Structure 1
Amino acid sequence: MEKMKKIAVVLAGNGVYDGAEIHEATLTLLAIARNGATYQCFAPDVEQAHVVNHLTGEEMAETRNVLVEAARIARGNIKPLSDYDAKNFDAIMFPGGFGAAKNLCTFAFDGVDCTVNPDVEQAVRSTVAEGKPVGALCISPVLIAKILGDVKVTIGQDEATIQAIENLGGTHQKTTHGQVVTDDKYKVVTTPCYMLDATIDQIADGADNVVKKILEIM
């Protein structure tokens, strides 16, 4: 019997405004399970850029840890991203949410001059070096473009973000709900999710289509 494929999922905290987008994260996990693979969640063990009150959108005067917060989504079954070894996984995926652009890198604050968390960069580079696929949803493709440069991705249709991706050396393809763009050279698979004005079922479609494509190109 063929061994089940194992996909690493990198979470950026818990909640759209300062962490991982919870619908995108959960539906990614569901898509992996429904397509006959298994997952392991990871997150960098670092302090969040800031904490946002999700009811008011206001910043809160407290600090939180990305790994501790992401553990909420993973039901406690999560590892520090520094433990990730590309040899032990068949692919890696990055759900979106502002945390991807605030905690995994600093794109939300610094644009194209952003820095990337070293564990995140190492995870992406080592996965690509192994010839294994990378999936990225929503704003996460920006992070991949920052690391890899000349990569083809989609974030949907947002002109400012498209310009940033192109300034980073990437190629952007405009898409709508559930559509997937694949970079054949790097095996990077992306979809826009909540970068578009989307509903939760459209997010499910996007996550499912990325997982299906990743399993197809393994």
Structure 2
Amino acid sequence: MKKVAVILSGCGVYDGTEIHEAVITLLAIRQNGAAYQCFAPDIPQMHVINHLSGEPVEGEVRNVLVESARIARGDIKPLAQCNAEEFDALVVPGGFGAAKNLCTFAVDGPESHFDADVMRVCKAFADAYKPAGYACIAPALAAAVYADSVKLTIGTDAGTAAGINALGACHIDCPVDEVVIDREARLVTTPAYMLAEDILQAYKGLTKMVETVLSLK
């Protein structure tokens, strides 16, 4: 049975992992006969957002690992313990946490800084040519990990695509229910909620991403 490492970035679309994307991803991994282990960096979130109002919550501090444990039902490990040699593939769901907590793309664009453990783990999979899938805004992270004009997508947003290209990638426009595959890098990306208007649209692209990642030799 193949084993997939899944990196989460908190709990909630505006300040962490997009929950629908994470759950669909985990379900798709199991539906395709593979197992997963969730990881998250043990660091403070950039900020906390009230998901009812969409406004920041002043003075509140939350931990990315602790919040991610909500999605993983407690079965999660600090990202510092992730060893790429123990896994066959990597998947990183989206949500703004990927661009706020795993890196600073949401604030700094092409001048982003990247969490050290996140970059170490992601590059370990890339350097070992192990398949990886990044969804939604998470390909901004992949752009820095792979660079070298790696082909990827966040959908069709021109401004975000320009920022990703500035990190060294080659953005390709993609509909919500499709994926972009860079076979040389063994990287698969899909727009998910960068374009999805409902959970069914997100489901189609995310399941295709997981199926493709697990099928890459």
TM-score by length of 1: 0.97
CA distance in 2, matches of 1:201, 1:142: 24
CA distance in 2, matches of 1:186, 1:118: 21
Aligned to 1:50: 47
Q: CA deviation at 1:130?
A: 1.6
- How many residue pairs get aligned? The number is 215
Aligned to 1:7: 4
Aligned to 1:85: 83
Match of 1:28 among 22, 25, 29: 25
> Runs of 4+ in structure 1 displaced over 6 angstroms?
none
CA distance in 1, matches of 2:126, 2:146: 9
CA distance in 2, matches of 1:146, 1:30: 28
C-alpha RMSD of the superposition: 0.8
Q: CA deviation at 1:131?
A: 1.6
Aligned partner of 1:100: which letter? A
CA distance in 2, matches of 1:152, 1:92: 17
CA distance in 1, matches of 2:214, 2:177: 17
Q: CA deviation at 1:214?
A: 0.8
Deviations 1:142-168 (A, max 9, x none): 111022212110111000011111111
Aligned to 1:108: 106
Task: Answer yes or no: is the 8 Å Cα contact 1:86–1:126 preserved in 2.
Answer: yes
Task: Answer yes or no: is the 8 Å Cα contact 2:126–2:145 preserved in 1.
Answer: no
Q: CA deviation at 1:141?
A: 0.4
1:71-82 equivalence runs, <5 A = 71-82=69-80
Secondary structure of the residue aligned to 2:214 is helix
Task: Answer yes or no: is the 8 Å Cα contact 2:190–2:209 preserved in 1.
Answer: yes
Q: CA deviation at 1:198?
A: 2.5
Aligned partner of 1:169: which letter? G
Task: Answer yes or no: is the 8 Å Cα contact 1:112–1:146 preserved in 2.
Answer: no
1:48-197 equivalence runs, <5 A = 48-61=45-58, 62-150=60-148, 151-197=150-196
Deviations 1:23-46 (A, max 9, x none): 000000000011111100000000
Aligned partner of 1:153: which letter? L
CA distance in 2, matches of 1:180, 1:197: 13
CA distance in 1, matches of 2:209, 2:10: 21
Aligned partner of 1:63: which letter? V
Deviations 1:44-100 (A, max 9, x none): 000000000000011112000000000000000000000000110000100000000
Aligned to 2:204: 205
CA separation of 1:119 and 1:173: change in aligned 2, threshold 3 A: same
CA distance in 2, matches of 1:149, 1:176: 23
Aligned partner of 2:153: which letter? T
Task: Answer yes or no: is the 8 Å Cα contact 1:141–1:190 preserved in 2.
Answer: yes
Aligned to 1:215: 214
Aligned-residue sequence identity (percent) comes to: 53
Aligned partner of 1:25: which letter? A
Deviations 1:148-196 (A, max 9, x none): 2121101110000111111112111111122011112211100000111
Task: Answer yes or no: is the 8 Å Cα contact 1:48–1:65 preserved in 2.
Answer: yes
CA distance in 2, matches of 1:198, 1:181: 20
